[in-house]
Amino acid sequence: MRRITYRRPAGDWLDGLPLGDGRTGVMVLAATDGVRLQLNDGTAWSGSPASEHRHGPVDAAAAAEARAAARHLLDDGRAVEAERALTALQARYAQAYLPFADVEIRHVPAAEVERSLDLSEAVHSAAAGQVRHTTFVSAPDGVVVHELTSMQPIEVTVTAHSPLRDLGSTWPGDGFQLLLALPADVAPSHEPAEPPLRWNLAGVEPVEGAVVARIVHDGVADAATGGPLTRLRDVRTLRLVLATQTTFTGIGRAPCGDARQAAATAQQRVTDALDAGPEEVRARHVAAHQSLYSRVSLRLGDAEQATDTLVDPDRRIAELGPAAATDPELLETLFDYGRYLLISASRPGGLPATLQGLWNEQMQPPWSSAYTLNINTEMNYWPAGPLGLAETGQPLFDLVEALAASGTETARRLYGARGWTAHHNTDAWAFTSPTSGDASWSQWAMGGVWLICQIDRHRRFGAADEAWLERFWPLVQGAAAFVLDLLEEDADGFLVSFPSTSPENRYATADGPAALTVGSGMDRALATELFAVLAEVAAHLGRSGDPVVVEAAAARQRIRPPGIEADGTIREWHPGARSVEPDHRHLSHLVFAYPGYALDDGLAAALTQTLDARGDDSTGWSLAWKLALRARLGDADRVAELLRYLVRPAVTGVAHAGGLYANLFAAHPPFQIDGNLGYTAAICEALVQGHNGVVDLLPAWPPMLDAGVVRGLVAEPGITVYLSWRNGVPVTVSLQALSQRQAGPRLVRHAGLSRVVDISADRPVTVDWSSLTAPPPRRNPR
């Protein structure tokens, strides 16, 4: 069990505690006088598939003319003008992920409240005097369940409302039904010339939805019950069961139906859950959650002294100051919280985790609470492979399939290219165009490529079967075909991409900061990895003779490897380009090292120099990326140093300084879930690595956390690891292959000590590491 407990009421939204089943999200804010349930539905998005081109698609001839003009201007040293020429390729913006409704259950205030989130069961509980509240979201039943019990009869009020447009809500005595219309357009806040919200827009048929709830209680309904409020007297027990439903039909597909049809579907789920009974629904919920959550466990420090409940963690962090990074229970909890958030935000059948996971209360959220493909969406799924949570990645695969379908036309019109592309932003409607705005983010055309490299981690961590590879094949082949057509030959005979940027950084020119270049470090790294993935998948499927595979194999040899500048740092743009923001939060050109696989001994010193020059402090997600990169380098001391920046109180109004909000959400600021999920991935990387064909134990583990046990981590290419250590040295190691494909002898090492272990898929193979006193003869692993 792992429990986060607060002995005070929840304040604002970032003090609430999250529940979710991958489709319905609830932020629970418990106070002395009751509970607020802020509801999200993962399919509640503004707009429709028509939103992207509501002003008309960019003409192919106009796009070709703009690219040619930009190329000429760039060659002439006028990068800023070249970027202006490329604005002809831009659409407006992706749509927004929206809040759905609020439900409040109120009673007479108590003197104090204690509220907890049980991560192992995904259940929120609160005690306010003699009243107890319990809340969970059941994935098997598709319902939210809230139960209230009181030692004495009390008066209870239940209210429900929504920031969405009401289409005719009703309040029968035993519950309520909200019928809702979502807006046709929500502009991001960085588009001040656009109206923030429009309910109607020509050509756009937005989503409709419903919230349906039943209230079962042992009290008496007050005569004032009705409208948006239910008042009950003499209540000792109350159970509220609700479901949400929308007319969303699938990523990139038009909504279908209306709010009343959605309500009928939600009503059936509520009825079925009530018929099953509360014990059965809760048992199914806990079993489904634990089937995922129980796969991995981490215990740091002395197990006999450890506790499973972390009390008032925000106060603990504030009181410890920089020493919070040496608090084993806190770091354990943050690791488990990341696992919990991924499981809660992303499940098969739902949409991928957004910038805020599954939780959002704002009608115009930061960056639309959508999908940012130049780092944040990928980072959300970094921990899925090492945690053995392949299921959580299925919604991302669904999104990429939709992007490939819509991005085929984008590749043809904007670039005259084969295959498919996506840029830096997308939404539930599979938006693939460049957005309006600065070229440093807009004119980056490699979003689809990075998504392919991320999805391939499913295969690299041993979770892919033949059916998965067959489904993956057209996506990777199409992404490769696009990149091949994006490449051109430079003066030295190498292949470079154009247009190209290094998201979201800019370099200095005589005319001001610019981002446009040819063959940025990130583009070259992603293209190289993509072509390698294509070759490996083709070989497995017997398709190495495919024309795109053959073409990509030849092109791969002509892409420059990561370059090194005169100051010893990794080259980000063209030679000699100087960043206008040396400590920029993005580390785009370092993607080859992590999550990529191209770091070698010749680049390690340059990677270290680059990270040193970038500096440590930054946004939450940037800190997580730096943690993972330092772990990949095996730099345990710098991993420890970075933890103190990530594990600190978030400060409102301070740009690009990470930390944790009261509910342990990671700050950009504002809140972005990638910081939480990236932290968990980085801890996995510090504990176990397998990307280089060797199972490395504790390759970058912070020295102050010198004892612990981890169970269930997956090392590439698909080996589950049980590891205990003391004084920073492994004691017992158990390894088991996920399938026969990964079984066989493999080199396992820690520091200077190693041995070859014959790993089985049938049973764990245990090694008493403490009995090894000298390295055994080295053999090449199979």
Do 553 and 459 share a structural domain? yes
Percent of the chain with pLDDT over 90: 92
Asked whether residue 583 falls in the same domain as residue 482, the answer is yes
Same domain, 118 and 254: yes
Q: Strand, coil or helix: what is 443?
A: coil
pLDDT tens column, 16-54 = 999 999 999 999 999 999 999 999 999 999 999 999 999
Say if residue 169 is in the same domain as residue 286: yes
pLDDT tens-place string over residues 543-582: 999 999 999 999 999 999 999 999 999 999 999 999 999 9
Question: What's 742's domain CATH number?
Answer: 2.60.40.1180
Q: Is residue 777 part of a domain?
A: no
pLDDT value of residue 399: 98
Residues 588 and 711 in one domain: no
Residue 326: per-residue pLDDT = 93
84 and 122, same domain (yes or no): no
82 and 155 both lie in a single domain: no
Q: Is residue 23 domain-shared with residue 156, that is, in the same domain?
A: yes
Q: What is the pLDDT of residues 243-297, one digit of tens each?
A: 999 999 999 999 999 999 999 999 999 999 999 999 999 999 999 999 999 999 9
Are 396 and 443 found together in one domain? yes
The amino acid that residue 599 corresponds to is L
Among 599, 618, 644, the domain boundary falls at 599
Residue 310 parent element (H or E): strand 309-311
- pLDDT tens digits, 174-194: 999 999 999 999 999 988 889
- Mean pLDDT value across residues 201-221: 96
pTM: 0.96
The yes-or-no verdict on residue 775 having pLDDT over 60 is no
Tell whether 590 is covered by a domain. yes
Q: Which amino acid is at 717?
A: P
287 shares a domain with 242: yes
Looking at 293, 318, 344, the residue that finishes a domain is 293
In a domain, 654, yes or no: no
Under the banding of pLDDT at 50, 70 and 90, the label for residue 657 is confident
pLDDT at residue 460 is higher than 80: yes
Instruction: Look at strands 708-715 and 297-300 and give their pairing.
Output: antiparallel
CATH code: domain of residue 593? 1.50.10.10
Residue 9 belongs to a domain = yes
Please state the rounded mean pLDDT for residues 136-161.
97
160 and 86 both lie in a single domain: no
Which of 554, 580, 599 is where one domain is finished?
599
The tokens describing 698, both together, are: 């504790």
Question: CA–CA distance from 237 to each of 34, 36, 104, 228 (Å)?
Answer: 14, 18, 16, 21
Q: How far apart are CA 624 and CA 338, in angstroms?
A: 12
pLDDT over threshold 90, residue 232: yes
Q: Same domain, yes or no, for 252 and 384?
A: no
Kindly report, residue by residue over 679-718, the tens digit of the pLDDT.
999 999 999 999 999 999 999 999 999 999 999 999 999 9
Give how many domains the chain has, as a whole number.
Answer: 3
Torsions phi, psi of 778, nearest 5?
Answer: -80, 135
**498: domain range?**
56-90+372-599
Mean pLDDT value across the chain: 95
3-state helix, strand, coil in the chain (%, to 5): 35, 25, 40
User: HEC string of 548-603?
Assistant: HHHHHHHHHCCCCCCCECCCCCECCCCCCCCECCCCCCCCHHHCCCCCCCCCCHHH
Q: Is 645 part of any domain? A: no
Residue 58 has pLDDT above 50, yes or no: yes
Q: What's the pLDDT band for 305 if we cut at 50, 70, 90?
A: low
